[in-house]
Amino acid sequence: MLTDLDLCRITEYSYNHYTWTAGELSALFTVEQNTKIIAIPGTKREIGEWLRDIDAWPIFDVELGICHQGFCDGAFDLLYHMPLTYSEFSNVVITGHSLGGALAILLAALLSNWNCPPAAVVTFGAPRCASWRVRRLLRHIPLKLYCNGDDPVPEVPWLPGIYVHPRKLIHIGEPSLNIIEDHFITSYIQSLEDINAKVSA
């Protein structure tokens, strides 16, 4: 059975391996243990990704409602560059880290709105990206949002009553001496490995 640790490792793999691109963004489509997966990496070193991250002014999209403008644009870019039809991505598990987690949430909401809902969404260190309509679109989708240690990214952007997570955060790991390290995908992997080790003990 595919675990959240497996998905975290696949997301780490997506930083250097991808199936399609949309400008500076990329995504990996793979099949593991008979499960279709879309994995989206976080911000790398592309200037366009950094600009997308800070383009936090809310916009209204007719399908998604109020959204972070940069993340909304990125989700549509990835969707329109998908190498397969939307129906072929039905029942896919979507996962992502950081920026990729925000894109995973919005991509899942779009597919749900188009009657091609994903099987599940699992994110690691994803920032807030939208408001109440996205939460409603995903209300029937199994959704896990992980926050490791004192990772600050899931707490931004901070606009009370505007940006909300579509589900309660799942806190894992002990805070390190460096909150930036808490955000690293490798730190999420380590915390999930520690949890699995305790369960197996």
HSE-up (13 A, CA, CB side) for residue 167: 23
Mean pLDDT of 125-129: 95
- Token pair 């880290």 in the structure block, residue: 97
3-state SS class at 89: helix
DSSP annotation string for 120-163: EEEEESPPP-B-HHHHHHTTTS-EEEEEETT-SGGG-S--TTT-
- What is the structure's pLDDT at 32? 95
Cβ atoms of 28 and 18 closer than 8 Å:
yes
CA distances from 87 to 123, 185, 198 (A): 22, 30, 39
Assigned token pair, 112: 């749900």
Assigned token pair, 44: 């790398």
**Amino acid identity for residue 186 in this structure:** T
- What is the structure's pLDDT at 91? 87
DSSP 90: T
- CA end-to-end span of the chain: 19
CA 77 to CA 179: how far, in whole Å?
A: 31
pTM for the full predicted model: 0.93
How would residue 50 be classed by pLDDT, with cut points 50, 70 and 90? very low
Mean per-residue pLDDT over the chain, rounded:
90
Which residue intervals of the chain are DSSP H helices?
Answer: 4-13, 47-54, 69-80, 99-113, 132-137, 179-183, 185-200
Q: Dump pLDDT digits (tens) for 2-40.
A: 999 999 999 999 999 999 999 889 999 999 999 999 999
- What is the structure's pLDDT at 9? 98
Assigned token pair, 139: 């209300």
Q: Which value, in Å, is the radius of gyration of the alpha carbons in the chain?
A: 16
- Token pair 């200037």 in the structure block, residue: 47
Cβ atoms of 133 and 65 closer than 8 Å:
yes
Structural domains of the chain in order of their starting residue, each with its CATH number:
4-200 (3.40.50.1820)
DSSP 85: -
